[in-house]
Amino acid sequence: MNTQLLPSPGTGTPMRPTHGSAPVREAGRFAGQHRRRLLRADALTVTAWSSMAASVALWLADGGLTAVSSPAGMVTALGIVAGLAGMDLVLLMLLLAARIPFIDGAVGHDRALEFHRKLGKPSLYLLLAHGLLIAVGYGMAEGLDPVSEAVALWVLVPDMCLAFISLALFIAVVVTSLVAVRRRFPYEFWYAVHLLTYAAVLTSLPHQFSVGGLFAVGTWQRWYWLAICIATGAALLYYRIIQPVRATFRHQLTVERVTSVAPGVVNIEMSGLQLGSLAGNGGRFFIWRFLAPGLWWHPHPFSLSAEPVRTGPDGHGRLRITVRDLGRGSAQLLTLRRGTKVAVEGPYGLFSSAARSKDHVVMIGAGIGITPLRALLETTPFAPGQATVLLRGHSNQELYLGEEILELCRQRGATLFHLTGGRDPGSPDSWLPASEHRAGYALADYVPEIALADVYICGPSRWAGNVLNAARAAGVHEDQLHHERFDW
Binding residues vs other proteins (CB under 8 A): 38, 41-42, 45-46, 48-50, 52-54, 56-69, 73, 138, 141-142, 149, 156-159, 209-219, 222, 479
| Rounded distance between C-alpha atoms, residue 382 and residue 20, angstroms | 13
Question: Closest separation between CB of residue 442 and other proteins, Å?
Answer: 28
Of the candidates 403, 7, 82, 48, which has an alpha carbon nearest to the alpha carbon of residue 228?
48
Residues near 366 by beta carbon (within 8 Å), at least 6 away in sequence: 391, 392, 393, 431, 458, 459, 460, 463, 464
Of 54 and 292, the one with the shorter C-beta distance to other proteins is 54
Question: Closest separation between CB of residue 71 and other proteins, Å?
Answer: 13
Residues near 186 by beta carbon (within 8 Å), at least 6 away in sequence: none
**First-to-final CA distance of the chain:** 33
User: 216 — alpha (psi -120 to 50), left (phi > 0) or beta?
Assistant: beta
Of 220 and 249, the one with the shorter C-beta distance to other proteins is 220
Of 357 and 415, the one with the shorter C-beta distance to other proteins is 357
Question: Closest separation between CB of residue 61 and other proteins, Å?
Answer: 4
Of 106 and 306, the one with the shorter C-beta distance to other proteins is 106
Of 5 and 57, the one with the shorter C-beta distance to other proteins is 57
Question: Closest separation between CB of residue 49 and other proteins, Å?
Answer: 4
Beta bridge partner(s), residue 318: 271, 309
Question: Closest separation between CB of residue 206 and other proteins, Å?
Answer: 10
Of 62 and 398, the one with the shorter C-beta distance to other proteins is 62
Of 215 and 486, the one with the shorter C-beta distance to other proteins is 215
Torsion sign over Cα 395, 377, 341, 96? positive
CB atoms within 10 A of CB 7: 19
Question: Closest separation between CB of residue 127 and other proteins, Å?
Answer: 20
Of the candidates 79, 51, 91, 48, which has an alpha carbon nearest to the alpha carbon of residue 204?
91
| Rounded distance between C-alpha atoms, residue 393 and residue 481, angstroms | 21
Question: Closest separation between CB of residue 215 and other proteins, Å?
Answer: 6
| Rounded distance between C-alpha atoms, residue 289 and residue 298, angstroms | 6
CA–CA distances in Å: residue 143 to residues 146, 337, 474: 9, 69, 66
Question: Closest separation between CB of residue 44 and other proteins, Å?
Answer: 9
| Rounded distance between C-alpha atoms, residue 306 and residue 321, angstroms | 7
Question: Closest separation between CB of residue 115 and other proteins, Å?
Answer: 13
Work out the angle between the directed axes of helices 109-142 and 146-156 (0-180°, nearest 10).
100
Strands 387-393, 414-420: pairing is parallel
Question: Closest separation between CB of residue 199 and other proteins, Å?
Answer: 22
Of 67 and 241, the one with the shorter C-beta distance to other proteins is 67
Residues near 166 by beta carbon (within 8 Å), at least 6 away in sequence: 199, 200, 201, 202, 203, 204
Of 225 and 286, the one with the shorter C-beta distance to other proteins is 225
Tally of CA atoms within 13 A in the half-sphere of 23 that contains its CB: 18
Question: Closest separation between CB of residue 87 and other proteins, Å?
Answer: 16
- How are strands ordered across the β-sheet holding 387-393? 4-5, 414-420, 387-393, 360-366, 453-458, 481-483
- Specify the 3-state DSSP secondary structure of 96: helix
Of 134 and 401, the one with the shorter C-beta distance to other proteins is 134
Of 102 and 185, the one with the shorter C-beta distance to other proteins is 102
